[in-house]
Amino acid sequence: MISKIPYGNTELTLELPDEQVSGVLNSNIGNLQNDQTEDDIVKAAMAKHLGSASLKELAKDKKTAVIIISDHTRPVPSKHIIPFMLEEMREGNPDIDITLLVATGFHRGTTPDELVSKLGQKIVDEEKIAVHDSSNADENVKIGVLPSGADLIINRLAAEADLLVSEGFIEPHFFAGFSGGRKSVLPGVSDRVTVLGNHCSKFIASPYARTGILENNPIHTDMKSAAKQAGLQYIVNVIIDEEKRVVMAFAGDPFIAHEAGCEFLKQYCRVKAVPADIVITGNGGAPLDQNMYQCVKSMTAAEASAGDDGVIILCAECLDGTGGDGFYRAMRDCESARALFENIMTIPQNQTQPDQWEYQILARILSKHTVLYVTRPEMKDIVTEMKMTYAPDLDTAVKMAKEIKGENASFTVIPNGIAVIVEQ
């Protein structure tokens, strides 16, 4: 059996004996065919505007508007979305004052070059663009309290806009259930206080805070409330294929359109877990595998098929390093992954630490599984410091895994771990 694992802007080739492969878990999004262009798909969705007035109607009589846009860590094809949102808003109100607000959440700020890559030079040159900073208290304002009890503090531009709308894309998410929709507000343009409260250890540990689950998910409940309190009125969310091309779009009411998109996506992403001794996965290639922080997502897909003590092989380029200093230091400085996990579970909501959710999930996985990390040589020491094992290439990782689980060990392959919902 030969499989291709996305890795940066290329792929790694995996060859295994057929008799040792228990299963290959792939999203079926590649089977979704659409004869329209990416632009036409988006425009058709906006013409339907599910559950809401059109963007043109919403823009009438409004003085100011904010479009929340994705940041550099998300493969949202903004060039196929933002121009049409701008065009329709100005068709309804030529004088409306529009700001593009980059939803960085808890990530670093998006650079000028990354903005050009995402939006194109024309939009960067001609539009007002602000980059959200969750740590800048002067730029953020409290607008309410979340169901969890955490203060809801968001970017002042979003809070004070006459019209608040957003773009985004829908994919399975490892603790919010799905990305998109309400996530543009929380964590997208929320203050660190709000993000930390929402991402507390109790919520992350909930059995409902898992990939593909929205019902009873406490993290989703907070996020939905945040979007409502912020007054988010309209979204354009897309679904992309493995080549990151738009294959479907949903627009309109933030909750109706998002729910429709999630229900649509489920039928293409659900796969049944196939237990195996060794599970091999990737994080979707660039930009999704740009750092170790993001790659915890695909580990959760592998975790679901790795039994109680299976070996996980993760392939990720990690051009942007660890992706979070707190994330890195917590794993580096802990006595063991299990000790770190047990300590996190004692931390109350109002004492949640930056990146805690990410290293909580990684520590949970490492408490049960050996993780072999196929990445750039420059990352070798960091991988080791973070309680994982470095492998210079995929073939070497397979040999190392067999040394642990036996020469005749079984394999499950999940080429793109963030594209599937692995159900038990």
Using left for φ > 0, alpha for ψ between -120 and 50, and beta otherwise, residue 307 falls in left
Whether 199 is catalytic = no
- Determine contact, residues 368/309, Cβ cutoff 8 Å: yes
CA distance to 67, 72, 95, 360, per residue, from 129 (Å): 10, 14, 17, 34
* Pairing status of strand 371-374 against strand 2-7: unpaired
Whether 220 is catalytic = no
> Which is catalytic among the residues 173, 220, 258, 369?
173
> Which is catalytic among the residues 107, 199, 220, 369?
107
- Determine contact, residues 360/324, Cβ cutoff 8 Å: no
Distance CA 304, CA 301 (A): 5
Which is nearest to 89 in space by CA: 169, 39, 36, 164?
Answer: 164
- Determine contact, residues 194/150, Cβ cutoff 8 Å: yes
- Neighbour tally for 420: CB within 10 Å: 26
User: Please, what sign has the CA dihedral across residues 85, 70, 184, 172?
Assistant: positive
DSSP 74-128: S---GGGTHHHHHHHHHHH-TT-EEEEEEE-TTSPPPPHHHHHHHH-HHHHHHSE
Any idea which residues carry the catalytic annotation? Answer: 107, 173
